[in-house]
Amino acid sequence: MVDEPRQSRAAAPILLFDSGIGGLTVLAELRKLLPQAPVIYAADHAGLPYGEKSEAEIAARVAGLLGLLAERYHPRLICIACNTASTIALGMVREVLRVPVVGTVPAIKPAAKMTRSGTIGLLGTAATVRQAYVDRLEAEFATGRRLLRHAAPELVGAAERKLRGEAVAPEAIAAAARGLRDQPGGEAIDTIVLACTHFPLLEPELAGAFGPGVRFVDGAAGIARRIAHLTAGQNFERQVPDCAVFTGSPESTAALAPALAHYGLEHCGAV
């Protein structure tokens, strides 16, 4: 068990965790609601991509890293800003940490309300699209709707490269679009769940590939509201600049400095 934070509660950060830069899409929404909240952003680039790993590997990495990060930073709340990690490890992490933990859930419920054609597409990682958790969301919130799923691991790398200032490969976007459109009934998709926190970073490119009439939905704003709700009434005081920390080599993250600055984060080195 990890001890309760000992630092001043007002300075205690909210810790956002992802395998990479996808969680920045959650941070962007959190900044709108809680601009004064101190934040630590932690990315497991040494483990990226989670979507291609086994459930056991993901659970072990996420639980181990979050235990270490909780001891080091004494966060008031942890957000697993990663669909893959949340759908697999959220329950386990909540068991072992005393800090409140908010997860990321594929936005099937809002998508089911938004669709007019009744056909929803879902883009996620391979590990996310095969989760029973997604089956349960579909059964609970999308009855009477058709949900077509497609694993688009190439979008994770494309988003990572985009935030390093590199061009987005049109083939990666086209392959993801084909993966949904070419399924039986895929031509009727009018709503797409971006069930990986990396993917909203590519929404303009995806919108171009899917064409007009398709709307995208992700969980970031809902997660930010949940964090604001759980921390309502708490004091926030940013005593040091907000930091981003990474596993993996410094060379792989150096090019991210401008993007991190855009989200109000300093690159603070290794986990």
Return the closest-CA partner of residue 66 out of 131, 160, 2. Answer: 2
Nearest CB to ligand DGL, comparing residues 12 and 27:
27
Binding mask 177-216 for ligand DGL (x = CB under 6 A): -------------------xxx------------------
Q: Please state, in angstroms and rounded to a whole number, the distance separating the CA atoms of residues 255 and 259.
A: 8
Q: Which stretch binds ligand DGL (CB under 6 A): 3-11, 14-22, 222-230, 251-259?
A: 14-22
Does 156 interact with ligand DGL (rule: CB under 6 A)? Answer: yes
Q: Is the dihedral of CA 34, 40, 44, 46 positive or negative?
A: positive
Cβ 79 to ligand DGL, closest distance in Å? 12
Residue 268 annotated as catalytic: no
Residue of 79, 82, 243, 268 with catalytic role:
82
Cβ 83 to ligand DGL, closest distance in Å? 4
Phi-psi region of 144 (alpha: psi -120 to 50; beta: other; left: phi over 0): left
Does 131 interact with ligand DGL (rule: CB under 6 A)? Answer: no
Cβ 122 to ligand DGL, closest distance in Å? 12
Among 26, 40, 42, 48, binds ligand DGL (CB under 6 A): 48
Rg, the chain, Cα only: 18
Q: How many residues sit close enough to ligand DGL to count as binding (CB under 6 A)?
A: 17
Residue 82 annotated as catalytic: yes
- 241, 247, 251, 257: CA torsion to nearest 10: -30
Q: In one letter, which amino acid is 193?
A: V
Dmax (CA) of the chain: 56
Cα–Cα distances in angstroms (integers) from residue 13 to residues 40, 76, 138, 243, in the given order = 6, 6, 34, 10
Cβ 233 to ligand DGL, closest distance in Å? 30
Q: Please state, in angstroms and rounded to a whole number, the distance separating the CA atoms of residues 151 and 55.
A: 16
Considering only residues 212-231, where is the footprint of ligand DGL by CB under 6 A?
none
Which residues are part of the catalytic machinery? 82, 196
Interface residues toward ligand DGL, by CB under 6 A: 18-20, 22, 48-51, 82-84, 125, 128, 156, 196-198
